[in-house]
Structure 1
Amino acid sequence: MGYKVAVVGATGNVGREMLDILKERGFPADEVVAVASRRSQGVEVSYGDATLRVKALEHVDFSDIDIALMSAGGETSKEWSPKIGKAGCVVIDNSSAFRMDPDVPLIVPEVNADAISGFSKKNIIANPNCSTAQLVVALKPLHDKAKILRCVVATYQSVSGAGKEAMDELFTQTRAVFVSDPVEAKKFPKRIAFNAIPHIDVFMEDGFTKEEWKMTAETKKILDPKIKLVATCVRVPVFISHAEAVHIEFAGPITADEARDILREAPGCLVIDKHEPGGYITPYEAAGEDATYISRIREDPTVDNGLAMWVVSDNLRKGAALNTVQIAETLVNRGLISPKKDTA
């Protein structure tokens, strides 16, 4: 007998991706429930060839649901995830609400699947920030080989990371530029069309943005608290997929050729690295794909034991929906959860 799964936030970009990926990967679900806010009640969403009618969050009884995939925002998660967990349903939360909670595992299955066993303390598992997820998938196999001391990252993040309104704003502004209409900035603090904005999330007292802090704190929690990491996070006029320029300093020697060989064998990684025009992956090509793509692997001559590389992944998939479903698969495959209907 299969599982009963709820997708909370089913009408959003990530929620719709979750529904698609559950079906694509053949997740063993006997029933999938689409859930969203009251204003979306009755809206229809697709699940494979089926159409699901959205239920309002406050009207759902989670006591007979096995897994809830949450993508409804931090405030909603703070209110509802503990309630859902107490009802006996395992919450896999895509927001930042519980990522740094010591009683909540922060999981990227290719990196730290063993940490998932701690979920039973609160029945909540956190999904990392989209820019962190693809980064640690690429860093993990290299860290195992030569131990990372320091990492410097510059991100080039697509507008889909800020939601549908942000995607609409990029489209509207781009069209306005071509027809010489006024360009209005609503979702972003400055115009995003044909521009780059070095500001994602709120500014903190030390001058970093919260997005940059997330990358540092989450990488330490997922991979190794001793890694020193600094990031500059930039929003760019791309619809889907985040790219990252990554500079790594290792404790031990590692060559570019060794790194390519290691990453080619690593789970979740796909190396496309030819030293020729077009011999690398761009955000456009990564959109709709599951892999974390790694290109431009080269030795950094400015530090001992240094590498530089280019990392690209679909932020709606590996950065959010796919990783969430992979966490659910890990629960099932490791026998950490059983369908409630089996024991009823």
Structure 2
Amino acid sequence: MGYKVVVAGATGNVGREMLNILAERGFPVDEIAVLASRKSLGTEVTFGETTLKTKDLDTFDFTGWDIALFAVGSTATKKYAPIAASQGCVVIDNSSLYRYDPDVPLIVPECNADAVMGYTKKNIIANPNCSTAQMVVALKPLHDRAKIKRVVVSTYQSVSGSGKEAMEELWDQTKAVYNPTDDVPAKVYTKEIAFNVIPHIDVFMEDGSTKEEWKMVAETKKIVDPAIKVTATCVRVPVFVGHSESINIEFEEFLDEDEARDILREAPGIMVIDKREDGGYVTPKECVGDFATFISRIRQDSTIDNGLNLWCVSDNLRKGAALNAVQIAEVLGQKALKKG
């Protein structure tokens, strides 16, 4: 027996990717419903070889459905997730709304799959921020070996993390560079993104950090270990899909780079591509469409006693969002919603 699955926000980048991944991974679906706002009502989306028409999220009855994957943003989630949860459907939410709620588990299956059982408090499970998800997949196996004290991370985040409008803005601005008569002002971002980098993701906070940077700090502590100190600088770059991160890690005890490389090679969800030669590393363009989090440039940091540097790349629409949500659903099925 399979599950009755709902995908809310099925017409967006992440929602469509959720449908693709459910099909690719052969998730046991007996019945599926795709939901959208009324302005997108009736829009067709694909699930494997099947074409589906979206239904109205506002009037949908979640009674009798097992799992709902939400990719609708915090505002809509605040309204509809409690409704779905109260009707007995377990919500796996991709927004930031519930990530910091102590009664809602924040899950990256490679790191803390057992915590999924905490869903019973609210019938809701949170999916982490895209930049956090790929980083903690790399941190957890190293932390288990040598205990991480501090992480310094700089991100290079693609525009797809801001949605379809951002991807269109990058495309239009890039074309305009070669056609001086075109003027494409910044709308999604505060400054032009084409041929530029913007050290500003989400809103600014009182201490000068941005909300994106704060998310990486808070979520790493909740998923891996509250004792880890994290400082982040999050940057938007003119890449369509694929987030990259330069990560500096300080451990409580020495960890040799060769041992770290071996640990990461054996860790779930990770692919190590680390050759000290031209092209012996992975770039965001190469990771698009892949399930793995790629690790390269693993090397000792000689400026501190117990330090390592590494380069981390992942498809943010997959591991950073849709894939992680589907993996949570798989864990939920294995541990809690067993059928057949």
TM-score between the two structures when normalised by the length of structure 2:
0.99
Displacement of 1:242 = 0.2
CA deviations on 1:13-47 (whole Å, 9 max, x unpaired) are 00000000000000000111110111111110011
2:237 matched residue in structure 1:
236
Displacement of 1:338 = 4.4
1:208 matched residue in structure 2:
209
Show the 5 A alignment for 1:53-72. 53-72=53-72
In structure 1, stretches of 5+ residues that fail to align are none
Displacement of 1:82 = 1.1
**Equivalent position amino acid for 1:206 in 2:** D
**Equivalent position amino acid for 2:118 in 1:** G
1:254 matched residue in structure 2:
255
1:37 matched residue in structure 2:
37
The 2-side partners of 1:37 and 1:255 are apart by 52
The 2-side partners of 1:328 and 1:14 are apart by 15
SS of corresponding position for 2:63: helix
Displacement of 1:178 = 1.2
Q: Does 1:317 align with 2:318?
A: yes
SS of corresponding position for 1:65: coil
**Equivalent position amino acid for 1:186 in 2:** K
Q: Does 1:195 align with 2:196?
A: yes
Residues 161 and 9 (structure 1 numbering): CA distance in 2 closer, same or farther, change over 3 Å?
Answer: same
The 1-side partners of 2:19 and 2:59 are apart by 20
**Equivalent position amino acid for 2:258 in 1:** D
SS of corresponding position for 2:240: coil
CA deviations on 1:150-187 (whole Å, 9 max, x unpaired) are 00000000000000000000000000001122231111
Q: Does 1:118 align with 2:127?
A: no
Displacement of 1:59 = 2.0
Matched length: 339
The 2-side partners of 1:107 and 1:62 are apart by 23
2:282 matched residue in structure 1:
281
**Equivalent position amino acid for 2:185 in 1:** E
SS of corresponding position for 1:247: strand
The 2-side partners of 1:119 and 1:288 are apart by 29
Please list every run of at least 4 consecutive aligned residues from structure 1 whose deviation after the TM superposition is greater than 3 angstroms.
none
2:218 matched residue in structure 1:
217
- Confirm or deny: 8 A CA contact 1:177 1:183 kept in the other structure: no
2:165 matched residue in structure 1:
165
Show the 5 A alignment for 1:47-126. 47-126=47-126
The 2-side partners of 1:212 and 1:277 are apart by 31
1:179 matched residue in structure 2:
179
CA deviations on 1:270-299 (whole Å, 9 max, x unpaired) are 000000010000000011100000000000
The 1-side partners of 2:33 and 2:204 are apart by 37
The 1-side partners of 2:322 and 2:4 are apart by 17
The 2-side partners of 1:252 and 1:338 are apart by 41
1:6 matched residue in structure 2:
6
Identity of aligned pairs, percent? Answer: 67
**Equivalent position amino acid for 2:320 in 1:** G
The 1-side partners of 2:196 and 2:31 are apart by 44
The 2-side partners of 1:124 and 1:261 are apart by 36
The 1-side partners of 2:253 and 2:117 are apart by 32
CA deviations on 1:129-155 (whole Å, 9 max, x unpaired) are 000000000000000010000000000
The 2-side partners of 1:26 and 1:129 are apart by 25
- Confirm or deny: 8 A CA contact 1:268 1:291 kept in the other structure: yes
SS of corresponding position for 1:63: coil
**Equivalent position amino acid for 1:145 in 2:** R
1:307 matched residue in structure 2:
308
**Equivalent position amino acid for 2:126 in 1:** A
Displacement of 1:261 = 0.3
The 2-side partners of 1:217 and 1:226 are apart by 11
TM-score between the two structures when normalised by the length of structure 1:
0.98
CA deviations on 1:185-213 (whole Å, 9 max, x unpaired) are 11100000000000000000110000000
**Equivalent position amino acid for 1:232 in 2:** T
**Equivalent position amino acid for 2:167 in 1:** M
RMSD after superposition:
0.8
2:23 matched residue in structure 1:
23
